[in-house]
Chains A and B, each alone.
Chain A
Amino acid sequence: MHEASLAQSIVETVLRYAGANKAQTVKSVQVDLGALTFFNIDQVKFWVKVGFENTIAQNARVVFRQIPGRIRCKACGFEGELKMQQNAVYHLALPDFSCPSCNNETVSIVQGKEAVVKTIRILKKPE
């Protein structure tokens, strides 16, 4: 359950910034999660909701955006989405870490590994 530890750091991050900015309520939270991370969005979301219980963020709308995976080929310079092989036998779409353009094996991941709290919307305490 490594989602729980990620959720915990989301909760801590949100409450820390909200507190520092004298928030009365946290209205919404936006988190980016890369498609190539090992995190399941639904599980992270569940644990974030649990973590927000009885805090100023308990009614916050929590929005997760999944960032698609992108790779770059060191050989031909191709940059784009990862090739996925459809495997009808196993009902699986398997990633293929070779270049979709030149088949070279030296690709690196340029996008899809994110786990970032992007923005939070707060209501300030009355002065």
Chain B
Amino acid sequence: MKTITPSDDEALDLHLEENLLDKNQSLAQKNRRLLDRFGVYAVDILGSVGSGKTTLIQQMVTFLKGKLRTAAIAGDLTTTIDANRIQNAGAEVIQINTGKECHLDANLVHRAMNHLDLKNIDLLFIENVGNLICPGEFPIGAHQRIVIVSTTEGPYMILKHPYILMDASTIVVNKIDLAQAMDVDIQKLKENAMGIKPDIEVIFTNARTGQGISDLIQTIRIQK
């Protein structure tokens, strides 16, 4: 069979200008509009595996009981361990199992929101998948982003993840009771964060005992 192929000088350039993140971005905006329509304030919570995301959400849910109607979307690779813990604290919880995906995206969050009774929720916690890199590029429509680092992750967590602070309003330094044992200077962690983003709020917590939880709640800018 004879095949005629075009020569290189017959090449055609197509100008696509196709933005690859647009789809997620517009879905995130759709999520935000939906939340706003029902008066739900959403907080995206980021932190490594074991930094204390679930325990902090649990504590906030317990603290806010009777004051605000809370709910949570818990993103995790597998298992419903996190979701069960938050549910036991008294919030409605939807679990998203991402399988192998390292971040939540706007589409997954949208599907989870469809299962929530939004008109009976004031404050929605969205627990992202446990790492500080992948979720950075995928806004999900939340009003505010809180980043958690803990002293057991060592003294360099903030210096190693400076760009995640770009869109964060608050940094939580958790497990301050273990700082001494870990030889981590929590003031130094605060300096690191403020050096990168001067207007960021830094809160010290011990999520197990509830220390610092009311300070953390103060940084949530919900208007109620």
Contacts and interface: CB of A to CB of B under 8 A. Distances in A.
A116 B25 CA distance: 13
B137 A109 contact: no
B12 A121 contact: yes
A97 B196 contact: yes
B162 interface: yes
Interface in B131-167: 133-134, 136-138, 156, 159, 162-163, 165-166
A120 B16 CA distance: 7
B137 A37 contact: yes
Interface stretch (B3-11, B82-90, B115-123, B175-183): B3-11
A109 B166 contact: yes
A78 interface: no
A105 B197 CA distance: 8
Contacts of B15: 118-119
Interface in A71-123: 85, 87, 90, 92, 94-98, 105-106, 109, 113-123
A57 interface: no
| Residue among A1, A5, A119, A126 having the largest count of chain B Cβ atoms under 10 Å | A5
A6 B21 CA distance: 8
Interface in B174-224: 195-199
Interface residues of A, number: 43
A2 B165 CA distance: 19
A124 interface: yes
Tell me if B's interface is mostly helix, strand, loop or mixed.
Answer: mixed
A37 B13 CA distance: 27
Nearest to B6: A123
A119 B12 CA distance: 10
B4 A126 contact: yes
Contacts of A113: 21
A94 B162 contact: yes
A104 B211 CA distance: 32
Contacts of B136: 38
A105 B199 contact: yes
Interface of B: 4-6, 8, 10-21, 101-103, 133-134, 136-138, 156, 159, 162-163, 165-166, 195-199
16 contacts: A1-B134, A2-B102, A2-B133, A17-B14, A36-B166, A90-B156, A90-B159, A94-B196, A98-B198, A105-B197, A115-B20, A117-B17, A117-B18, A121-B14, A122-B14, A126-B5
